[in-house]
Structure 1
Amino acid sequence: MHGENALEKTNRINVLFDFYGSLLTEKQQTFLKCYYHDDYSLGEIADDFEISRQAVYEHLKRSEQILEEYESKLGLAARHERLQEGLEQLERQIGELPAPWRDALRTTMEWMRKEGT
């Protein structure tokens, strides 16, 4: 994979994997980790597992499709992103408040960020 689109796709798959990876088979998890986390090439994965590059490619495509299906049904990654955007907006708004109000709200904000991760 190359370019900006590849980086966006890698980031998307990694986010989806964080939410739904445990729902995949062990083999699917392993191939996705090798390819997206460890930056192995198709050929390197194929050599390690003694299968064809085409088989690796098909495993990856199917795993990506499954992750996307989970997201389309459950929407956890999109919900998480919306919550993070809301927290960032709230943080900006807190910064605009008079000083006496900011400290307590920032403490609550930090708690919300910890609970959301």
Structure 2
Amino acid sequence: MFLTEKQYKVVDLYYNADLSLSEIAQQEAITRQGVRDSIKRGELTLLEAEDKLGFYKKQQETEKLLDAICKSVNAVLEENRESIRSRTVEKQMQWILTCVDQMDSEE
């Protein structure tokens, strides 16, 4: 884990629960400055980890590839509907789109 348990909780409350520094300070029984410091240290830790691991960049690349796959599959489907009319091709292309949708929804 990249963050301490306390940092994780404070960052989560601030960004995901949308609580103010004062609300977090009261809930965690620490000062507003303590909350702010914890958030800043947590942000720095996460940014350093991202720089080393590149998860965001990999996710963006994956999304671009999935979009390209969908465009290609839709082009094949269109061609199939206009001239080939193969049920097998239709089913396989629909299956690929379903897989891509599942991958996209998991992100």
Alignment of 1:16-95 (within 5 A): 22-95=1-74
Mind listing any 5+ residue stretches in structure 2 that lack a counterpart? 81-85
**Structure 1 portions without partners, runs of 5+:** 1-21
Q: In structure 1, how many angstroms separate the alpha carbons of the residues matched to 2:29 and 2:64? A: 44
Which residue is equivalent to 1:110?
98
Distance 1:36 1:90 in 2: 33
TM-score (norm 1): 0.71
RMSD over aligned CA atoms reads: 1.9
CA distance in 2, matches of 1:79, 1:102: 30
Matched residues, percent identical? Answer: 28
Residue 18 of structure 1: aligned partner:
none
CA distance in 2, matches of 1:67, 1:48: 23
1:95, 1:102 within 8 Å by CA — same for their partners in 2?
no
Deviations 1:39-83 (A, max 9, x none): 000000011112111110110011011111111001112101210
Shift in CA distance, 94/81, structure 1 to aligned 2, threshold 3 Å = same
Number of residue equivalences: 96
Highest CA radius of gyration, 1 or 2?
Answer: 2
Which 4+ residue blocks in structure 1 deviate beyond 6 angstroms?
none
